[in-house]
Chain A
Amino acid sequence: MRILRTRASRRRMRHLLTYAGLLVASVYALFPLAWALATALKPSGEILSDTPTFFTAHPTLAHFREVLFETAFPTYFVNSVIVSLATVVVSLAVGIFAAYAISRLDRTPGIRAIGVAMLVGQMVPVVLLIMPLYQFMQATGLLNTYIALIMTYTVFAIPIITWMMKGFFDTVPIEIEEAARLDGCSRLYIVLRIILPLSTPAIMAAAIYALILAWSEFVLAFTLISDDSMRTLSTGVFSFMGLWTVNWGSLMSAAVLIVLPVAVVFGFTQKYLVSGLTAGSGR
Chain B
Amino acid sequence: MAHFHDSIRRRDSEYKSVDSAGALQPAAAARSRRGTPVMRFLKRHWISYLFVLPAVVFLVGLLLIPIVNVIVDSFFNVNLLRPDANGFVGLDNFVRAVSEPLFWSNVWNGVVWTVGSVFGEFVVGLATALLLNQQVRGRALFRAIMITPWVVPIVVAAMTWSWILNGEYGILNAILRELGIISDNVSWLGNKWTAMLAVINTNVWRSFPFWTLSYLAVLQTIDRAELEAAELDGANALQRLWYIVLPKLKGITLILSILNVIWVFNNFDFIWLMTQGGPLNATETLAIQTYLLAFEQYRFGEASAVAVIMLLMLLVAIGLYFYIQRRRARRIDAYTANKG
Write the residues of chain A forming the contact surface with B, with a CB cutoff of 8 angstroms: 14-15, 18-19, 21-22, 25-26, 28-33, 35-36, 39, 47-52, 93-95, 97-98, 100-102, 105, 108-111, 114, 117-118, 120-121, 123-136, 151-152, 154-155, 158-159, 162, 187-188, 191, 212, 215-216, 218-219, 223, 233-235, 237-238, 241, 248, 251-252, 254-255, 258-259, 262-263, 266-267, 270-271, 273-274, 277-278, 281-283
Contact = CB atoms under 8 A, between A and B. Distances in A.
B55 A133 contact: no
Contacts of A26: 142, 145-146
Task: Describe A's contact surface by its main secondary structure.
Answer: helix
B214 interface: yes
A270 to B, nearest CB: 5
B54 interface: yes
Contacts of A28: 124, 205
A136 B66 contact: yes
B153 A108 contact: no
Given A98-B55, A101-B52, A125 B262 contact: yes
Contacts of A215: 153
B156 A259 contact: yes
11 contacts: A14-B237, A15-B136, A26-B142, A118-B55, A128-B266, A128-B307, A130-B291, A131-B69, A212-B151, A233-B153, A255-B160
Contacts of A36: 156, 159-160, 163
Interface residues of B, number: 89
Nearest to A111: B48
A270 B263 CA distance: 24
B89 interface: no
A223 B329 CA distance: 40
Contacts of A273: 147
Given A25-B131, A215-B153, A111 B52 contact: yes
Interface of B: 44-45, 47-52, 54-56, 58-59, 62-63, 65-67, 69-70, 73, 124, 127-128, 131-132, 134, 136, 140, 142-157, 159-164, 166, 168-169, 171, 174, 205, 209, 213-214, 216-217, 220-221, 237, 259, 262-263, 266-269, 272-273, 287, 290-291, 294-295, 300, 303-304, 307, 310-311, 314, 318, 321, 329
B144 to A, nearest CB: 5
Given A94-B55, A132-B66, A223-B295, A216 B155 contact: yes
Contacts of A22: 131-132, 136, 142
A97 B160 contact: no
B48 A132 contact: no
B67 A30 contact: no
B216 A278 contact: yes
Contacts of A255: 155-156, 159-160
